A and B are shown apart, each in its own frame.
Chain A
Amino acid sequence: MKTLRNIIGIHLSLLIVCCIIYTLVIWGIGQIFPSAANGYPVEKNGKIVGYKNIGQKFTLDKYFWGRPSSVDYNAASSGASNYGPSNPEYLKIVGARIDSFLVHNPGIKRSDIPAEMVTSSGSGLDPDISPKAALIQVPRVARAREISEDLLRDLIENNTERPFLGLFGPEKVNVLMLNLDLDRAAEK
């Protein structure tokens, strides 16, 4: 009986400490930083059009594309292909993506296509591509928008995030932020 009281007592007290107090304190601090606490929503003309870190689907030629996604960038869920490296079906899909990429981007060499543009990400919501993957899309976007390639290269340069502290991790370009800049530049 005594043990039962001990156990229930500790159970309930830790529930209050860990689940109520801890969560509420973090939530309270989140109220001071509403943008962060909501996952950094991105607005355009006063409307939320996305989240900085959540990738979205770009299929039109006039936008820079992100990576293939197994959940089709449906952010209500998340997930990956889970294809093993030797799965023939996987290799077939990658082959088909390469062909389709070449059709939409005539003139680029096969060996210029970075692997991330034809392989799907872990979350299915990867917001980034490498600077190189953005650069090879420049001719296509320039043609679709009828704007100069130099301007696009500048936009990519401005949107390239260097490694953390300049030292750690890969370079990357956030596709949504790049496309927002692109829309803005095209409107001018």
Chain B
Amino acid sequence: MNTEIMGVFAAFIITILLAYPLGKYMTKVFKGEKVWTDFLSPVEKLIFRLSGVDPDKKMDWKENLKSMLMINLFFFIWAYLLLLIKHPFMNPMNIGSMEAALAFNTAASFVSNTNLQHYSGETGASYFAQVFILMFLQFVSAATGIASASILFKGLSQRQASDLGNFYNLLVKSVTRILLPISFVLALVLLLNGSPMTFSGAKEIVTLQGESVKVATGPVAPMIAIKHLGTNGGGFFGANSSHPFENPNYLTNMLEVITELLIAIGLVFSFGFYLGKKKLGMLLFGVMTIFFISFSSLAIHWESRGNPLIDNLSISQNAGNMEGKEVRFGAAASAYFGTASTATSTGAVNSMHDSFMPLSGGIFLIDMMINAIYGGVGVGFLNFFVYLVVAVFIAGLMVGRTPELLGKKIEAKEIKIAAIVLLIHPLLILTGTAIAAHISAVNPSVGWVHNPGYHGFSEMLYEFTSASANNGSGFEGLGDNTNFWNIMCGAVMLLARFIPIIGPVSIAGMLAKKKTIPESAGTLRIDSATFGVVLISVIVIVAALSFFPALALGPVAEFFSI
């Protein structure tokens, strides 16, 4: 096995080895049990006292959702207003304000944990914006996701009760107990490996060849840590994790890709621990992992194989398709990073997705179209839960029984909500892409697409898919800092963020109140391999039926044209 493949393999194994204990730990945090980080509780108590929050107050699903939406609205307003002004301090490069549509897009993007960036970090955001707006939202949007997942867990474990936990308490503890400690360690390692932490602005140097160059720098290390851990993905620099200051070497690259997956996978285990159904947690992890390993292997294969059109130029392509990739990572680790980043909703890139081979790009699209293979922190599991509800319903109908999930009857109301959540994703992506493709075809002078033909269509499809999946990566050739893309994508990101939280949490709230039906011989066992197959089929069918035509016009057509 070559060292590039071994690196990928090691990164994945280490992720699982860390995610399992983290899952246990997070379960204890959610339940308020004793953990080693309890020394932080005075900090939390102070926060609660200052904000007049009673962290033990029981809240039902409606109160929880209300608090979640209200505080996120506040986060959004904070970001939007501050992005509209020029920052008088922490702005050594004297960067101006954002115009209204771009500020809307950026605020929506970071509140929704998407981190689609229509600005370029070096020239578009002051240090104040990076730290007090963007990094702040990276923490709280990730915490919103984790808290929502915890509320879902509680809902599913309740018997005829309406208490779903306290959103404020969970939000604060997600930050203090989960995100901050891990970010701190990661930021430290990044710093020691050469990710800068300075407020002094770009440095002017004279290179070895005697040219003078300005080198952008800044408070990079702390932001990059939470960028990955919180599946945010919004980089300090335009080139994101391909930039040597954001991702200096192979070790940092491994750590970044490990932390992207860490909490998302940890939450799948945590689901099993929380409900005392370890086997079910394992099954869900297994189903996601089958997708993840298949997709990574395919992308690694195509990137390591290289571009046949470059082969025609008869140079050596042993290293694979290197356009848009960095030598220190190589083709395999770049393809793996891309798969992990699109499977979770991170959207960080260590290589440019626009320049990947057509079907690798297709894999990234499918990752985001399913949007639940591990998924974003918290919300990935909520999305997967929707597939779970639908699978239980279908399996129940097939064997002719009332569908039950964890001892609760699934009825028309829950299924309707699940169906809406499932359909909103293709609706946003396909409608958006259709409008964009129409405008671009009728009026090519808008100049959006950077590459001709099928690949140009893929660029537009990718942008909407990324927005709706709250992913944030892009086929960056797309000229996307225009009113159309800023406003459309901003709206898509907000809808695609909050509807898939509201839906599953309300289902959990409804299930919590229902009577528990004791398990009997007639109960459909959902922790069996058979049910795993049903679950996989449901995911494949939903994704394939919704998205295959669009994929055929983009990546698949390009593949056959090469």
CB within 8 Å of B: which A33-65 residues:
33, 36-41, 44, 47-60, 63
Known interface pairs A6-B53, A82-B475, A94-B310. Does A15 touch B132 (Cβ–Cβ under 8 Å)? Answer: yes
Closest-CB distance, A156 to chain B (whole angstroms): 14
Question: CA–CA, A88 to B456, complex, Å?
Answer: 13
Closest-CB distance, A4 to chain B (whole angstroms): 8
* Interface status of A14 (Cβ within 8 A of chain B): yes
Assess whether B75 is in contact with A11, with CB atoms less than 8 Å apart. yes
Q: What residues of B have a CB within 8 angstroms of the CB of A120 in the complex? A: 323-324
Closest-CB distance, B256 to chain A (whole angstroms): 13
* Interface status of B333 (Cβ within 8 A of chain A): yes
Q: What residues of A have a CB within 8 angstroms of the CB of B330 in the complex? A: 169-170
Chain A 1-13 against B: per-residue CB contact (8 Å), 1 yes, 0 no?
A: 0110111111111
Considering the complex, give the chain B residue whose CB is closest to the CB of A5: B52
Question: CA–CA, A124 to B238, complex, Å?
Answer: 11
Closest-CB distance, B197 to chain A (whole angstroms): 4
Closest-CB distance, B41 to chain A (whole angstroms): 14
Known interface pairs A40-B194, A76-B215. Does A54 touch B245 (Cβ–Cβ under 8 Å)? Answer: yes
Q: Which of B75, B203, B322, B476 has most A Cβ within 10 Å?
A: B322
* Interface status of B545 (Cβ within 8 A of chain A): no
Assess whether B208 is in contact with A122, with CB atoms less than 8 Å apart. no
Assess whether A163 is in contact with B7, with CB atoms less than 8 Å apart. yes
* Interface status of B317 (Cβ within 8 A of chain A): yes
Known interface pairs A10-B168, A78-B238, A86-B453. Does A57 touch B326 (Cβ–Cβ under 8 Å)? Answer: no
Q: What residues of A have a CB within 8 angstroms of the CB of B248 in the complex? A: 53
Assess whether B314 is in contact with A85, with CB atoms less than 8 Å apart. no
A-B pairs under 8 A by CB, number: 365
Assess whether B209 is in contact with A59, with CB atoms less than 8 Å apart. yes
Known interface pairs A49-B205, A75-B214, A163-B7. Does A30 touch B197 (Cβ–Cβ under 8 Å)? Answer: yes
Known interface pairs A6-B51, A7-B74, A30-B198. Does A87 touch B208 (Cβ–Cβ under 8 Å)? Answer: no
Chain B 304-324 against A: per-residue CB contact (8 Å), 1 yes, 0 no?
A: 001101100111111111111
* Interface status of B562 (Cβ within 8 A of chain A): yes
* Interface status of B275 (Cβ within 8 A of chain A): no
Q: How large is the interface on A (under 10, 10 to 19, 20 to 34, 35 or more residues)?
A: 35 or more
Closest-CB distance, B503 to chain A (whole angstroms): 23
Q: Which of A36, A90, A130 has most B Cβ within 10 Å?
A: A36
Assess whether A85 is in contact with B198, with CB atoms less than 8 Å apart. no
Known interface pairs A14-B172, A115-B316. Does A37 touch B322 (Cβ–Cβ under 8 Å)? Answer: no
Assess whether A58 is in contact with B191, with CB atoms less than 8 Å apart. no
Q: What residues of A have a CB within 8 angstroms of the CB of B476 in the complex? A: 79-80, 82
Known interface pairs A14-B139, A26-B197. Does A77 touch B122 (Cβ–Cβ under 8 Å)? Answer: yes
Q: What residues of A have a CB within 8 angstroms of the CB of B454 in the complex? A: 86
Question: CA–CA, A7 to B67, complex, Å?
Answer: 8
CB within 8 Å of A: which B83-136 residues:
120, 122-123, 131-132, 135-136
Assess whether B74 is in contact with A2, with CB atoms less than 8 Å apart. no
Assess whether A85 is in contact with B307, with CB atoms less than 8 Å apart. yes
Q: What residues of A have a CB within 8 angstroms of the CB of B558 in the complex? A: 84-86
* Interface status of B515 (Cβ within 8 A of chain A): no
Assess whether A169 is in contact with B7, with CB atoms less than 8 Å apart. yes
Assess whether A48 is in contact with B317, with CB atoms less than 8 Å apart. no
* Interface status of A121 (Cβ within 8 A of chain B): yes
Known interface pairs A15-B136, A80-B352. Does A39 touch B325 (Cβ–Cβ under 8 Å)? Answer: no
B319 touches which of A54, A111, A170 (Cβ 8 Å): A170
Q: What residues of B have a CB within 8 angstroms of the CB of A51 in the complex? A: 194, 205, 215, 244
Q: What residues of B have a CB within 8 angstroms of the CB of A37 in the complex? A: 191, 196-198, 221
B355 touches which of A9, A58, A80 (Cβ 8 Å): A80
Question: CA–CA, A119 to B184, complex, Å?
Answer: 36
Assess whether B309 is in contact with A86, with CB atoms less than 8 Å apart. yes
Closest-CB distance, A83 to chain B (whole angstroms): 6
Beyond the given pairs A82-B324, A83-B324, 9 more chain A to chain B contacts, judged by CB atoms under 8 angstroms and listed by A's residue number, are A7-B70, A26-B188, A36-B191, A38-B196, A52-B194, A80-B323, A115-B317, A123-B326, A168-B254
Would you mind naming 19 contact pairs between A and B with Cβ atoms under 8 Å apart?
Answer: A3-B66, A8-B51, A9-B51, A10-B171, A15-B136, A19-B135, A19-B136, A51-B215, A67-B327, A76-B122, A80-B323, A82-B354, A84-B455, A85-B309, A114-B318, A115-B306, A122-B242, A172-B327, A179-B208
> Which 6 A-B pairs have CB atoms at the shortest separation, nearest pair first?
A9-B51, A122-B242, A82-B477, A168-B7, A84-B455, A78-B239
Interfacial residues, chain B to chain A (CB-CB below 8 A):
3-4, 6-7, 10, 43, 46-47, 50-53, 66-67, 70-71, 74-75, 78, 120, 122-123, 131-132, 135-136, 139-140, 168, 171-172, 175-176, 180, 183-184, 187-188, 191-199, 202-203, 205-209, 211, 213-217, 219, 221-222, 226, 237-239, 242-245, 248-251, 253-254, 306-307, 309-310, 313-330, 333-334, 349-352, 354-358, 450-455, 458, 475-477, 558, 561-562
